[in-house]
């Protein structure tokens, strides 16, 4: 199948051959593969370190509150990015594992953890929105846990089936499932991020804090909605086009672009936007996890 989607558009036959040759040369070069995957390893390690440093700063600031939503979010960011860093650091082994199901598990699991990490923000916003509207919040956390449990259960079933009976149909189903999960996450951000944003806009009192919160919610919503939508599109595309596969070592450029857009940049931007430390005193906006 021709690499139409990921090659450069050719204005003539010579340019088309040149661009296709460049793409193949980079993908087939061990030096390029190592350089790109080790670069991903380094960037993921950097983001993971930032999340850990921020977690330590929060713990030193408010140690008496236990594991708050903010602390759990930064811890999960540290874990997700740290795992990715290790995987790309050992890419020569990860992409060549047999059975192939093991490679799929190692590459997909951090994506599921990323889903759990960032939908935690959706849960937090949903709780704020429901409290502001005097709506019940007791079932929101249960719903979050239930959704994640179902997602992990289905994914584990797919992995087990692939381990026992490795075939293209099961791999196709697995990719479509990841695409659907990503689309649901994008909708979650659009729904509750949008609701909270417009609720804050209608807030009658103008203040610096309100403007900052508007910017925070709006920016994080846009970033997370976009990254999950891109993940949905690319993973869905890879289910139908083998040239768009992310599970092979000879697609380093595609992997670099994909992981930069759907995990590295979103994580870095969100960590920057949410860098503010919590106040030392008890705040209505700072809820410990029960």
Per-residue model confidence (pLDDT) at position 5: 38
Per-residue model confidence (pLDDT) at position 21: 67
For tokens 């993973």, the residue is 235
Burial group, residue 47, by CB count within 10 angstroms (0-12, 13-18, 19+): buried
Going by the DSSP 8-state scheme, the letter that residue 286 receives in this structure is -
Whole-model pTM: value is 0.84
Per-residue model confidence (pLDDT) at position 202: 80
Per-residue model confidence (pLDDT) at position 287: 54
Residue 233 to residues 79, 169, 176: CA-CA distances in angstroms? 25, 19, 10
Nearest alpha carbon to residue 163 among 239, 99, 240, 255: 99
Nearest alpha carbon to residue 271 among 40, 66, 16, 51: 51
- Do the Cβ atoms of 253 and 24 come closer than 8 Å? no
Number of H helices, E strands in the chain: 11, 0
Q: How far apart are CA 4 and CA 14, in angstroms?
A: 16
Q: How far apart are CA 154 and CA 136, in angstroms?
A: 29
Which residues of the chain fall short of a pLDDT of 70?
A: 1-23, 204-209, 247-250, 281-290
Per-residue model confidence (pLDDT) at position 22: 67
Full DSSP string of 130-178: HHHTT---TTHHHHHHHHHHHHHHHHHHHHHHHHHS--HHHHHHHHHHH
- Domains of the chain are 16-273 (1.20.1070.10)
The kind and range of the H/E element at 233 are helix 208-240
Per-residue model confidence (pLDDT) at position 99: 78
């Amino acid at each position: 199948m021709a690499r139409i989607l990921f090659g450069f558009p050719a204005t003539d036959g010579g340019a088309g051959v040149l661009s296709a040759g460049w793409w193949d040369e980079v993908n087939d070069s061990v030096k390029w593969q190592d350089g790109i995957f080790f670069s991903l390893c380094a960037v993921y390690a950097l983001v993971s370190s930032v999340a850990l440093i921020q977690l330590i700063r929060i713990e030193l600031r408010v140690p008496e509150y236990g594991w708050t939503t903010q602390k759990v979010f930064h811890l999960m960011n540290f874990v997700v990015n740290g795992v990715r860093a290790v995987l790309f650091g050992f890419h020569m082994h990860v992409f060549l594992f047999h059975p192939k199901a093991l490679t799929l598990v190692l590459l997909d699991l951090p994506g599921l953890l990323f889903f759990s990490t960032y939908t935690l923000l959706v849960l937090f916003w949903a709780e704020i929105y429901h409290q502001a509207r005097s709506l019940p919040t007791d079932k929101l956390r249960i719903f979050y846990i239930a959704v994640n449990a179902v997602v992990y259960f289905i994914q584990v079933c797919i992995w087990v089936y692939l381990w026992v009976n490795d075939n293209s149909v099961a791999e196709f189903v697995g990719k479509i499932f990841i695409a659907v999960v990503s689309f649901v996450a994008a909708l979650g951000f659009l729904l509750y991020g949008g609701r909270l944003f417009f609720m804050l806009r209608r807030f009658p009192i103008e203040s610096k804090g309100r403007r900052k919160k508007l910017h925070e919610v709006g920016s994080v919503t846009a970033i997370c909605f976009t990254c999950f939508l891109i993940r949905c599109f690319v993973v869905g595309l890879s289910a139908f086009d083998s040239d768009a596969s992310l599970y092979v070592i000879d697609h380093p450029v595609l992997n670099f672009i994909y992981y930069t857009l759907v995990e590295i940049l979103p994580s870095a931007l969100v960590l920057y936007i949410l860098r503010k430390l919590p106040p030392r005193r008890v705040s209505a906006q700072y809820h410990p996890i029960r």
